[in-house]
Structure 1
């Protein structure tokens, strides 16, 4: 009797322990970390999206990081200014007067020797207000001027201040080439997300495959403005290059169970650009007009067709430098992805 009673007690303890383990496993499954791999070619806005995640879902940027970005932003401003001034004669845009031309020559001669912005404060203040300089900036898409140039030019007085501290918006518009792999973990609704950003330069893409393990979803970013931009190193249209890369990712066996979220970025610039240059320059078979909706839907269809997948591809238009807009788009797109795709895989 004594032995039988002991066995019963032991069995009860084992059953309770088993139930507790099952409960913990179920709990862990509910809060399982979901891995999102952030991919896209250089200048698509991929890393800007990653920075938005820090602003919206993490602790933003520390004082030391803002100090780092201050130097980046000043370098960007100097580089953008040089690019505009060198392209003015190439585009047959004259300087407003002799003073403007003299200031431009002073800057172009000495800028690479001296990186102190304040050394050119008078010259740059004058140049940024001239009609010729502004006209060249407006044609920036014709010679690949950085998308953040206009924002930085307009913010010159603030940036030139000795006590300047970059705002979140300044950081979003700054340009730094991404190398290596960077991770960000944050909570989204009931899920723990790990977002992985990998460099988009051609030399960095070989590293992508090393991040393909256990990927819940690919977040693929491309710029809609790529439709009339060429890749300098390959002489290929940048939007078509993005489509080819996206197609290869969709066909990759290691990503067969991963969902795909496509962000068609730079919607704000595209709305203006499409009025000047038709989508036919990239897609000769396009028979639509110059309306944003018609053109944007055609681009989205190209990515949906390139995927050749029965499910799990979601396209969204966005402007990742616009925090309010992106927050809304990201929230909506992630809700759809989590509900429709992850429920199928049993992760939710």
Structure 2
């Protein structure tokens, strides 16, 4: 018969093992619970962060004011362009005024007009050779060599990376023309500017009727400030930076912090040839800001002179607003360049280019018609907030931006289920 003492010892050992086992299990459970709580906390933190991050996608045709809108955001809600950075825009300002000089010199050639000193025409031609103007549409059309193209791969992200890689190569070409003007060429340009015949052609170049290469509003602005921007101690002002015309290539993301919210503003190329890449940016967008150039009602696209600019904007708005990836995304519609629109209506009839319009040729009546036409092209369930704007007007945009950010914050609250 087995003695009682060893049996008691065995039972005691079992109890000790069981206690140790339960203790280990308890420790494991506590560790697992801590890990679970840590994961839950991280998920909640990520959720809160995402609810406070808003993605704003800027869409619209070329030269409609998207990039100027971003500059206004920087002026009012960003770093305001410190002087050190404003100095970096000097070359871009010079390139803009150099482009205007090209047009005026070409106009002089076409109409057989010489400078007061005929020998200056040779210097003007040399000026053009030293400061060539690159055609953005030609750059975009230029095919890249097969061996330089990124390897083909599947998926939206890789397609976007491939598009951006290709555009980066082409943007490097464009950057070659961002060298500004040498001191000698600055002085030469001032000499041109003080020439009576050059001035006459400049005034003619402002009229669409007298010049096929009419000057843009930006070029007119810089020419009117020629002496200031070619002075020795020139530092670009906020207004100068707003007027710089430099096409966006590829995708540029800007970040702004406003009232505990982080705004990711995505600015993309507006040229017609680049729009097929837009679809890869439609995912997880809080709102779409769609820009229309009101003053484009009597203009054609730079890359397609058979297509009316305003009609193209309307067609693009229809396609984008009906895209199923943006089915639940609200739109903010900016009818931009209102100042130029008003000025054009003084001499041009809207109905000449929009045959469906038969109202008065007043700014209010014409804007109302354009706004109504765009709203008719939106899906019936989609909310579209409309703003009439002038992206180069700092005071006007201050008020508009405050309203826009308030609307976007309200939209975000509704989507996240928060009370506003």
With the shorter chain as reference, the TM-score category is 0.7 to 0.9
Q: 1:102 to 1:137 in 2, by over 3 A?
A: farther
Determine the structure 2 residue equivalent to 1:148. 218
Determine the structure 1 residue equivalent to 2:186. 117
Q: 1:103 to 1:153 in 2, by over 3 A?
A: farther
Judge conservation of contact 1:51–1:172 (CA < 8 Å) in 2.
Answer: yes
Deviates more, 1:282-291 or 1:200-209: 200-209
Structure 1 distance, partners of 2:380, 2:264, is 24
Structure 2 distance, partners of 1:53, 1:27, is 24
Structure 2 distance, partners of 1:142, 1:338, is 45
Structure 2 distance, partners of 1:262, 1:294, is 18
Unaligned runs of at least 5 residues, structure 2: 1-18, 132-184
Judge conservation of contact 1:219–1:263 (CA < 8 Å) in 2.
Answer: yes
Determine the structure 2 residue equivalent to 1:284. 355
Structure 1 distance, partners of 2:197, 2:246, is 23
Q: How does 1:173-322 map to 2 (within 5 A)?
A: 173-234=243-304, 235-322=306-393
- Secondary structure of 1:207's counterpart equals helix
Judge conservation of contact 2:253–2:267 (CA < 8 Å) in 1.
Answer: yes
Q: 1:52 to 1:346 in 2, by over 3 A?
A: same
Structure 1 distance, partners of 2:129, 2:201, is 25
Structure 1 residue 132 displacement after superposition: 4.8
Structure 1 residue 74 displacement after superposition: 0.9
Structure 1 distance, partners of 2:197, 2:259, is 45
Q: 1:263 to 1:106 in 2, by over 3 A?
A: farther
Structure 1 distance, partners of 2:385, 2:127, is 45
Determine the structure 1 residue equivalent to 2:205. 136
Q: How does 1:330-345 map to 2 (within 5 A)?
A: 330-339=401-410, 341-345=411-415
- Secondary structure of 2:63's counterpart equals coil
Judge conservation of contact 1:250–1:256 (CA < 8 Å) in 2.
Answer: yes
User: Which of these two proteins has the greater Rg computed from alpha carbons?
Assistant: 2
Determine the structure 2 residue equivalent to 1:80. 100
Matched, 1:169 2:239: yes
Judge conservation of contact 2:51–2:412 (CA < 8 Å) in 1.
Answer: no
Number of matched pairs: 337
Structure 1 residue 63 displacement after superposition: 5.7
Which deviations, in whole Å up to 9, do the C-alpha atoms of 1:18-54 show, x marking residues without a partner?
Answer: 99779757754652x0100011111111111122222
Q: How does 1:90-105 map to 2 (within 5 A)?
A: 99-100=115-116, 102=118, 105=121
Q: 1:190 to 1:322 in 2, by over 3 A?
A: same
- Secondary structure of 2:62's counterpart equals coil
Judge conservation of contact 1:104–1:127 (CA < 8 Å) in 2.
Answer: no
Judge conservation of contact 2:115–2:197 (CA < 8 Å) in 1.
Answer: no
Q: TM-score, normalised by structure 1?
A: 0.84
- Secondary structure of 2:64's counterpart equals coil
Determine the structure 1 residue equivalent to 2:60. 40
Determine the structure 1 residue equivalent to 2:142. none
Q: TM-score, normalised by structure 2?
A: 0.71
Which deviations, in whole Å up to 9, do the C-alpha atoms of 1:236-284 show, x marking residues without a partner?
Answer: 1011001111111011111111111111111111111012111112310
Structure 1 residue 155 displacement after superposition: 1.3
Structure 1 residue 232 displacement after superposition: 4.2
Unaligned runs of at least 5 residues, structure 1: none
Structure 1 residue 346 displacement after superposition: 2.7
Structure 1 distance, partners of 2:120, 2:317, is 42
Structure 2 distance, partners of 1:113, 1:248, is 42
Structure 1 residue 191 displacement after superposition: 2.4
Structure 1 distance, partners of 2:373, 2:358, is 14
Judge conservation of contact 1:216–1:258 (CA < 8 Å) in 2.
Answer: yes
Which among 91, 107, 110 is matched to residue 71 of structure 1? Answer: 91
Structure 1 residue 167 displacement after superposition: 1.5
Structure 1 residue 190 displacement after superposition: 4.3
Structure 2 distance, partners of 1:251, 1:100, is 58
Structure 2 distance, partners of 1:104, 1:138, is 25
